A and B are shown apart, each in its own frame.
Chain A
Amino acid sequence: MELRRGRRRGAGRWSAWHFGLFAFTALVLLFLMAPLVVVFPMSLSSSSYLQFPPPGWSLRWYEQYFTDSTWIDATLRSIKVALATTVLATVLGTALSFSLVRGRYPGKEFVNQISLMPLIVPVIIYSIAVYGWFGQLKLIGLWQGIVLGHTVHAIPFVVIIMTAALRTFDIAQEHAAMSLGANRAQAIWHVTLPPLRPSLISAAFLAFISSFDELVVAMFLGGSNMTLPKKMFDNIVNEIDPTIAAVSVIQVVLVTVILILVSKLGSGAVPTER
């Protein structure tokens, strides 16, 4: 095996102990992948019940998904909400990141804490809080309302990635552009942002996925307008049929494709690059 010839920087050969460690690691990775892999055979089952192994094979659950308008409506609604959230969160979060990295003003640490708070505070608390607030503002049941709630949760992801990226950017380049006659906005647009594009891609991707997968906020704010996660949740709770398996497979495949794209185009979202 390849491993046997590999050497730990300067250390001796792999010992039996190491192979135990690698076997354990493989088992943990199997544990992580198992629930993703198992939805593939389930989605091809001919049975309406949760049964393993499937008694026969069919594509009926994929057909069910693509022909049932409630599934498709929920999917399109989720995409619409996630795209709007991405735009809003990326713009607000990037401006905020500039402020957090460049600014020197009292209370900056407080601003930083506020912008990251949605990551720490349990989503359920925020969900009922904003449910009560939007109830008064008559915003329940509107997709725009869900966008606002999701943006709150997407901003921290954008801030984390963009502040990290901006810290590595040499501000002298921007000053050079300005001494050559560009105003601040032009300097940022033409000089600062282009090299930050990979980080922007990662930030936008995280904002998108955080909204697209979000259940709890959408459950409270959506009313009868279900997003895809809410439709999936209902399908699981009421054990309606394995359409959820087909939906799951589509999502796993999509995440895989996007993950590959982001690892090629983006930066900051994949820990190996740090």
Chain B
Amino acid sequence: MSASATTPNELRAGALRRRWWRRHRDGFGSLAAAGPALLFLLVLYLIPMAMLLAQSFEGASLPHYQKALTDDLYLRVLFDTLLIAACVSLLCLVLAYPVAYALSILPSPWPAVGIAFILLPFWTSVLVRTYGWMVLLGRNGLINRMLSDLGVIETPLPLLNNMTGVLIGMTHVLLPYMVFPLYAVMRRMDPNLAQAARGLGASGWDVFRRIYLPLTLPGVLAGMTLVFVLSIGFFITPALLGGGKVHMMAVLIEQQVRMFLNWGFAGALSAVLLGATLLVYIVLRRLLRGNMQWS
């Protein structure tokens, strides 16, 4: 059969090739549309990043990585950074979850009003907001002024230039990143589901724990991932509200380049920070995908 059917087979192969090309012509054409942007990102994004990381590998025994991963001082900064990111993620979740829920059940126009109140700070410069927090939290700031006028405190509370200030500032910047995914998930929830459960005798807590929480978990994970990943790279807020007392990776990296011109070590610290970021991102994305399928 094979010997006699060579010509038809070739014909068929040719037809298949042509059909394949017709089907994929658009596809390859649109690869070309990606060309300029990809070239741009290659030259201005991937190459500089690769060069920075390459500098961190100088020396046979990788001295920069040894320093970054064994020196107590730098480990401490890494630990603090992760701890702050975890705290900010939790704070954002605790604040955002009820807000997103309230916005998802309120009748119009209240959801739009609430969203506007979240979008306005979201789109305002971080520097403006940071300055605003300095006015609010400073020794002579609005909050200390009000509390002492009311006789609640004698001496001003230390709210600025420490961990408190950084946590407040970062939570403020990142809260919208938590509200939006939660709100998106909750808006799609069918209210009849909770009602049906209530009708079958479930308590309010049961409805929350067994229906609402599992169904909103994708939003929770999406928001937490985003907030955590953005937190560990934060620079402006800890630099301005931490008063030099709160050490985060990004501030450390900036110092290594600006003050010490220590590119190799800055590269190693960057690799560690990048590794932590991508690890969290990939793990939580995987979790999220599994969860989406499950729900």
Chain A interface residues (CB < 8 Å from chain B): 3, 6-11, 17-18, 21-22, 24-25, 28-29, 31-39, 42, 49-53, 92-93, 95-96, 98-100, 102-105, 111, 114-115, 117-118, 120-126, 128-134, 148-149, 151-152, 155, 184, 209, 212-213, 215-216, 229, 232-233, 236-237, 244-245, 247-248, 251-252, 255-256, 258-259, 270-272, 274
A121–B114 contact, CB under 8 A?
A: no
Please report the total number of B residues contacting A with Cβ < 8 Å.
94
Given contacts A129-B51, A248-B132, 13 further A-B contacts (CB under 8 A): A21-B102, A28-B175, A35-B121, A38-B142, A52-B145, A104-B26, A111-B34, A128-B253, A128-B266, A232-B127, A237-B240, A259-B119, A271-B183
Q: Does B62 contact A (CB under 8 A)?
A: no
B51 CB contacts on chain A under 8 angstroms? 129, 132-133
Interface string of B125-157 (1 = CB under 8 A from A): 111111111111010111001000000000000
In the assembled complex, how far is the CB of residue A268 from the closest CB belonging to chain B, in whole angstroms? 13
Give A234 to B58 CA distance when docked, in angstroms: 35
B250–A124 contact, CB under 8 A?
A: yes
B44 CB contacts on chain A under 8 angstroms? 130, 133, 148-149, 151-152
Given A35-B129, A120-B229, A245-B131, also A125-B273 (CB < 8 A):
yes
Q: Does B116 contact A (CB under 8 A)?
A: yes
In the assembled complex, how far is the CB of residue B140 from the closest CB belonging to chain A, in whole angstroms? 5
Q: Does B15 contact A (CB under 8 A)?
A: no
In the assembled complex, how far is the CB of residue B219 from the closest CB belonging to chain A, in whole angstroms? 12
In-complex Cβ contact of A25 among B47, B98, B270 (8 A): B98
In-complex Cβ contact of A272 among B36, B115, B175 (8 A): B115
Interface centre among A122, A134, A213, A272 (most CB of B within 10 A): A122
B48–A271 contact, CB under 8 A?
A: no
Chain B interface mostly helix, strand, loop or mixed?
A: helix
B112–A272 contact, CB under 8 A?
A: yes
In the assembled complex, how far is the CB of residue A138 from the closest CB belonging to chain B, in whole angstroms? 15
Q: Nearest 10 pairs between A and B by C-beta?
A: A122-B233, A35-B132, A99-B34, A104-B27, A103-B30, A133-B48, A129-B52, A96-B37, A129-B48, A6-B107
In the assembled complex, how far is the CB of residue B193 from the closest CB belonging to chain A, in whole angstroms? 11
B126 CB contacts on chain A under 8 angstroms? 213, 215
Give A21 to B99 CA distance when docked, in angstroms: 8
A256 CB contacts on chain B under 8 angstroms? 120
B33 CB contacts on chain A under 8 angstroms? 95-96, 98-99, 102-103
In-complex Cβ contact of B235 among A29, A131, A155, A216 (8 A): A216
Give A7 to B108 CA distance when docked, in angstroms: 11
In the assembled complex, how far is the CB of residue A149 from the closest CB belonging to chain B, in whole angstroms? 7
Q: Does B295 contact A (CB under 8 A)?
A: no
In-complex Cβ contact of A122 among B34, B120, B250, B263 (8 A): B250
Which A-chain residue is minimally distant from B126 (CB atoms)?
Answer: A213
A121–B274 contact, CB under 8 A?
A: yes
In the assembled complex, how far is the CB of residue B97 from the closest CB belonging to chain A, in whole angstroms? 10
Interface centre among A96, A233, A236, A271 (most CB of B within 10 A): A271
A274 CB contacts on chain B under 8 angstroms? 184
